[in-house]
Amino acid sequence: GAVVSQHPSWVICKSGTSVKIECRSLDFQATTMFWYRQFPKQSLMLMATSNEGSKATYEQGVEKDKFLINHASLTLSTLTVTSAHPEDSSFYICSARDWRTGGSYEQYFGPGTRLTVT
Q: Cα 80–16–8 angle (5° rounding)?
A: 40
- Closer residue to another protein (CB): 44 or 82: 44
How many Cβ atoms from other residues are within 10 Å of residue 1's Cβ?
8
42 binds another protein (CB under 8 A): yes
Query: Do residues 33 and 54 touch, judged by C-beta distance below 8 A?
Result: no
Residues 90-109 that bind another protein (CB under 8 A): 91, 93, 95, 104-109
Binds another protein (CB under 8 A): choice among 30, 112, 115, 117: 112
Binding piece for another protein, criterion CB under 8 A, among 13-21, 31-39, 64-72, 79-87: 31-39
20 binds another protein (CB under 8 A): no
User: CB within 8 A of 65, min separation 6: which ones?
Assistant: 82
